[in-house]
């Protein structure tokens, strides 16, 4: 360890690594101009490799391109998969203590470079620097959690009728494709890489082409951590060229994917005849927040607002459909609108939305809301042709039909709807009236109601009087169209290992 020199950094890493304050990063971007954009490179077999095709990476807060992301070809993906396959032989046989040490080293390096990672994540994704720092800290936790989790695994043995001793033996499942979206780039990629490596698998990871910068910096961290060659490889690129080649390859024995439901369906279809592939799909949400009349109004408003607008509403767990019991409906709408107006402003809690394409998608839902005569309690449809970044102020909509596409489809932006209900039964019915079933928030002080209602909500996660409280051992994933499988602690072990049962006659 410790022999890796920073001289061997590829030039884009050298440039980016020099920017350890927001001012320096902004000045660097300004100075490099149109032609000198940071050109990211793939990370294959512990070395950076330039790619021939690129697309622009854009700073959502300004709308200006600042870097170039490779669009890796099928041949480049295949090269990375071959490295991962070769590395699997050795890595899958290392002891948990060895793997644990590597993961701890990665956690420490992320921690040491917290500000650098947060700055570039914020520039690349549009999120606030404060939010980016939280997510870097959570990336550290992903590695440190799994580095210790694997040290405490037990295997139960059983004796069957005095004739045989049986036990389960788990081994790493093979090479994984790890594909992540653009909303929490570093956090979600490391949520996959950490358990994958911890359980003895090797990987080719592909971050979203829209936000690749933190994954590129993470490659340098892997290089500095001196992970054995080929254990973790990162290829950059889009879905149709790079992602598709990756998921379809027979060298891939499992896929952990987070992203849109349509892409999840595509991946299922593309791998339908590769029955051996483990699939863990964490997809979209259209999550309800239920507010009962017994709540402490100001606490309920704060929780519902955070759930709706954190990270500009670009978290699959965001509560984008609020239902309020009739007795407090008017009071809640007024207090919620006042709170959001006072607390969610550009450059404060609000960043920019991730891309022009996504801005236009959100805008199209707001045009629909106008045409359906919804009430805009705050916010409005933004301009069609944004000149200085992709900014959308929070929008709170009321007077919308439950059958409207605005109520049914994932908008994934700073747009929330509020509607009313009378009874508990109606609240459950409204909450469940959606094809998705990822998360939900239940706001009430009534302990018996918490169980009665909470146990009926069709969602993988029910947060009671809170939102986004995470413990990495609990099962994470969705019901209905929100996904297949769960990850976290033991559940990640299911994803990344295969099990055989041994029967030994006594
Ligand atoms: N976590 C979530 O629930 C997320 C939901 N979304 C939703 O999905 C919508 C579309 O956003 P996108 O960026 O287009 O998400 P997406 O699902 O297309 O992208 C997620 C990842 O999948 C990759 N990908 C795309 N097509 C692929 C294919 N055929 N095979 C393998 N990998 C592929 C992408 O390159 C990216 O790395 C958003 O507007 C939002 O509503 C988007 C991102 C995250
Ligand atoms: O684990 C979390 O806290 C957040 C996860 C978020 C997603 O999976 C998402 O937005 O896609």
Sequence spans of domains, the chain: 6-283+485-498, 287-471
Vertex 19, ends 18 and 23: CA angle to 5°? 145
287-471 CATH fold: Aldehyde Dehydrogenase; Chain A, domain 2 (3.40.309)
At 161 the pLDDT is 85
Cα atoms found within 13 Å of the Cα of residue 91, Cβ hemisphere only: 28
Beta bridge partners, 443, equal: 291
Segments of the chain with pLDDT less than 70: 1-3, 5-8
User: Which burial class, exposed, middle or buried, applies to 482 when counting CB atoms under 10 A from its CB (0-12, 13-18, 19+)?
Assistant: buried
Distant-in-sequence, close-in-space partners of 485: CB < 8 Å, separation ≥ 6: 279, 280, 281, 282, 477, 491, 494, 495
Q: Which atom of ligand 2 is nearest to the CA of 318?
A: 10
Question: Taken in order 25, 184, 337, 61, is the CA torsion positive or negative?
Answer: positive
Residues designated as active site: 282
Residue ID of nearest Cα to ligand 1 atom 1: 259
Residue list, ligand 2 pocket, CB within 6 Å: 181, 183-184, 188, 258, 282, 315-317, 468, 470
pLDDT, tens only, 437-459? 999 999 999 999 999 999 999 99
Q: Identify each DSSP E strand in 53-107 by its residue range.
A: 54-59, 64-70
pLDDT given for residue 20 in this prediction: 86
6-283+485-498: what fold?
Aldehyde Dehydrogenase; Chain A, domain 1 (3.40.605)
Nearest-CA residue for atom 25 of ligand 1: 239
User: Could you tell me the distance, in angstroms and rounded to a whole number, from the CA of residue 274 to the centre of ligand 2?
Assistant: 27
CB 300 within 8 A of CB 443: yes
Nearest to 236 by CA among 372, 468, 496, 40: 40
Q: Closest ligand 2 atom to the C-alpha of 191?
A: 1
pTM for the whole structure: 0.97
- Check if the interface score ipTM surpasses 0.90: yes
Structure tokens at 14: 């050298």
User: 316 CA to middle of ligand 2, Å?
Assistant: 6
DSSP secondary structure code for residue 474 in this structure = S
Ligand 1 atom nearest to CA at 284: 3
Kindly list the protein residues whose Cβ atom lies closer than 6 A to any atom of ligand 1. 179-183, 206, 208-210, 238-239, 243-244, 247, 258-260, 263, 266-267, 283-284, 316, 358, 361, 410, 412
Question: What's the pLDDT score for residue 347?
Answer: 85
- How far is residue 243's CA from residue 251's CA, in Å, rounded to a whole number? 14
Q: Which of 339, 363, 335 lies closest to 349, judged by CA? A: 339
């Amino acid at each position: 360890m410790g022999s890796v020199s920073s001289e061997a950094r590829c030039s884009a890493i050298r440039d980016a690594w020099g920017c350890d304050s927001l001012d320096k990063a902004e000045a660097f971007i300004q100075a490099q101009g149109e032609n000198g954009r940071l050109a990211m490179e793939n990370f294959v077999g512990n070395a950076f490799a330039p790619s021939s095709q690129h697309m622009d990476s854009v700073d959502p807060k300004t709308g200006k391109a600042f870097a170039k992301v490779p669009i890796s070809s099928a041949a480049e993906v295949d090269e990375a998969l071959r490295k991962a396959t070769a590395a699997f032989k050795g890595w899958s046989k290392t002891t948990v203590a060895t793997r644990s040490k590597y993961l701890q080293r990665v956690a420490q390096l992320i921690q040491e470079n917290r500000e650098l990672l947060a700055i570039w994540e914020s520039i690349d994704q549009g999120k606030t620097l404060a939010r980016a720092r939280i997510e870097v800290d959570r990336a550290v936790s992903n590695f440190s959690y799994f580095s210790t989790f694997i040290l405490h695994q037990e295997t139960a043995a059983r004796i069957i009728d005095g004739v045989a001793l049986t036990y389960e033996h788990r081994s790493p499942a093979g090479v994984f494709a790890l594909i992540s979206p653009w909303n929490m780039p570093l956090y979600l990629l490391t949520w996959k890489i950490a358990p994958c490596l911890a359980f003895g698998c090797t990987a080719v990871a592909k971050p979203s082409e829209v936000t690749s910068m933190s994954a590129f910096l993470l490659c340098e961290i892997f290089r500095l951590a001196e992970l054995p060659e080929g254990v973790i490889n990162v290829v950059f690129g889009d879905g149709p060229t790079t992602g598709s080649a990756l998921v379809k390859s027979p060298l891939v024995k499992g896929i952990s994917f987070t992203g849109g439901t349509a892409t999840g369906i595509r991946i299922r279809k593309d791998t339908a005849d590769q029955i051996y592939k483990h699939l863990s799909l964490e997809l979209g949400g259209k999550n309800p927040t239920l507010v009962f009349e017994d709540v402490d109004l100001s606490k309920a408003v704060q929780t519902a607002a955070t759930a709706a607008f954190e990270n500009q509403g670009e978290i699959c767990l965001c509560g984008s459909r609020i239902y309020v019991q009739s007795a407090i409906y008017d009071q809640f709408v007024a207090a919620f609108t006042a709170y959001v107006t006072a607390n969610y402003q550009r450059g404060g809690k609000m960043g920019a939305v991730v891309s022009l394409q996504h801005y236009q998608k959100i805008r199209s839902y707001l045009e629909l809301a106008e045409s359906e005569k919804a009430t805009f309690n705050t916010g409005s449809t933004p301009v069609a042709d944004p000149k200085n970044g992709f900014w959308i102020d929070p929008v709170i909509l009321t007077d919308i039909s439950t059958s409207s596409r605005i109520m049914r489809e994932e908008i994934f932006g700073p747009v929330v709807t509020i509607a009313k209900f009378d009874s508990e039964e109606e609240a459950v019915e409204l909450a469940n009236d959606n094809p998705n079933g990822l998360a939900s928030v239940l706001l009430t002080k009534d302990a018996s109601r918490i169980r009665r209602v909470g146990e009926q909500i069709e969602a993988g996660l029910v947060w009671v009087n809170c939102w986004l409280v995470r413990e990495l051992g609990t099962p994470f994933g969705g019901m209905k169209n929100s996904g297949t499988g769960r990850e976290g602690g033991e559940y990640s072990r299911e994803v990344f290992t295969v099990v055989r049962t041994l029967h030994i006659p006594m």
